[in-house]
Amino acid sequence: MIAVEMISEQLEELRRAALAAFASSLSMEELEEVRVQALGRKGTLAQISKDFGKLAPGERAAVGKLLNSVKQDLESEYETKKHRFAESELAARLAGEWIDVTLPSSGVRPGSLHPVTQLQNEIEDLFTSLGFAVLYGPEVETEEHNFDALNIPPAHPARDMQDTFWLSDGHLLRTHTSPVQVRGMRLLGPPLRLIAPGRAFRNEEVDASHEHTFYQLEGMMVDRDVSVANLIYFMKTLLSGIFHREVTVRLRPGYFPFVEPGFELDIRCVICDGAGCPVCKQSGWVELLPCGLVHPNVLRLSGIDPEQWGGFAFGLGLTRLAMMRYGIDDIRHLQGGDLRFLNQF
Ligand code: PHE
């Protein structure tokens, strides 16, 4: 027989010791340790409870009451303390992660479009309003699209290794945007109006006016009875759109295998109005873009009958035009990636 006094004493001792241990725990971990020791499945209370069954039946009621009250005391003390720890942990986190939303920010710095992109967007808008489609051909091209289909004979100097970046598999980096003429004719069929802005690549020595990578904007129109008058009309519309004023143009003969006749189009200098200045080298005229009527062979090679259809094409040097419009004196600035330069636009 176990004495009531003994078991009661053990319970009171447990209550006293565990409450003291809870009180002196400094962390959630310590608190948890005390809980396991006192209230866990193999803890002190569980040990004492084993002796409960050895009591005489008449003695069980009083001891059972005490047992429950010890258990409740310990559990509620544990919960209270645990809650306090959780609260102070949260408070510590809030204090640590505090930010002052009233501090001045480091400033909003909006990006801006590259000058060539700005010009390209303007010209795309202008031509789409005139019924032209915008096509973007691949930068890696076949010899057929870049040369053969444009009536560029195999011995033409443009095919020289000096000018063309050849890839090891026989493809090349397009040397102009004109291969998109070929793709456009084959894709759309006549009649058609398209422009094709994009990058072109040439194996050039880089200096202030030459880059291996530059932007062009190709244009092409194929229809019945297209003449040089149509070409001039569209070029004047384009140029007054870019320079925001009426411009005077003139055509000089120029040779490109894919146009016949071919021209160099000059504009009356927009800086001095033709009087002569450093920009036009005192000539009053600035050379701006090559163009011409589409060569019958070029039409034929893309499945268009030159007896039925005619066309014009032009190749605007977007990079050069951007340099003229913004007064940029060195082509290397445009692809240099220097933010001090780019932030000006
Ligand atoms: N593709 C030519 C070049 O890059 C330019 C051009 C385009 C000329 C269209 C005439 C017609 O030099």
Amino acid at the residue 61? A
- Residue closest by Cα to atom 7 of ligand 1: 315
Q: Phi/psi of residue 290, each to 5°?
A: -85, 150
Task: Find out whether the beta carbon of 294 lies less than 6 Å from any atom of ligand 1.
Answer: no
Looking at the structure, do residues 158 and 200 belong to the same domain, yes or no? yes
Task: Find out whether the beta carbon of 259 lies less than 6 Å from any atom of ligand 1.
Answer: yes
Looking at the structure, do residues 243 and 135 belong to the same domain, yes or no? yes
CA 194/CA 137 separation, integer angstroms: 12
Radius of gyration of the chain (CA): 43
CA 259/CA 133 separation, integer angstroms: 21
The answer to whether residue 282 is domain-embedded is yes
The answer to whether residue 286 is domain-embedded is yes
Cα(278) to centroid of ligand 1, in Å?
26
Last-in-domain residue among 64, 97, 130: 97
Sign of the Cα pseudo-torsion (13, 18, 23, 25, in order): positive
Q: Which domain holds residue 41?
A: 4-97
Q: What angle do CA 58, 61, 66 make, to 5 degrees?
A: 135
Cα atoms in the Cβ-side hemisphere of radius 13 Å centred on 190: 20
Cα(7) to centroid of ligand 1, in Å?
107
Instruction: Check pLDDT > 80 for residue 305.
Output: yes
CA 143/CA 162 separation, integer angstroms: 15
Looking at the structure, do residues 192 and 314 belong to the same domain, yes or no? yes
Which residue reads 């932030």 in tokens? 343
Which pLDDT belongs to residue 194? Answer: 98
pLDDT per position as a tens digit, 176-207: 999 999 999 999 999 999 999 999 999 988 88
Last-in-domain residue among 38, 63, 97: 97
Looking at the structure, do residues 175 and 273 belong to the same domain, yes or no? yes
Which of the residue ranges 82-96, 99-113, 115-129, 212-226 would you say has the lowest mean pLDDT?
99-113
CB atoms within 10 A of CB 25: 18
Start-to-end C-alpha separation, the chain: 99
Looking at the structure, do residues 187 and 314 belong to the same domain, yes or no? yes
The reported pTM is: 0.68
Task: Find out whether the beta carbon of 313 lies less than 6 Å from any atom of ligand 1.
Answer: yes
CB atoms within 10 A of CB 181: 29
Name 310's bridge partners. 223
Task: Find out whether the beta carbon of 317 lies less than 6 Å from any atom of ligand 1.
Answer: no
| The total number of structural domains that make up the chain | 2
Cα(315) to centroid of ligand 1, in Å?
4
CATH at 140: 3.30.930.10
The answer to whether residue 108 is domain-embedded is no
Last-in-domain residue among 66, 97, 128: 97
In a mutational test of the pocket of ligand 1, which residue from 152, 258, 293 has the highest number of ligand atoms less than 8 Å from its CB?
258
The answer to whether residue 109 is domain-embedded is no
Instruction: Check pLDDT > 60 for residue 1.
Output: no
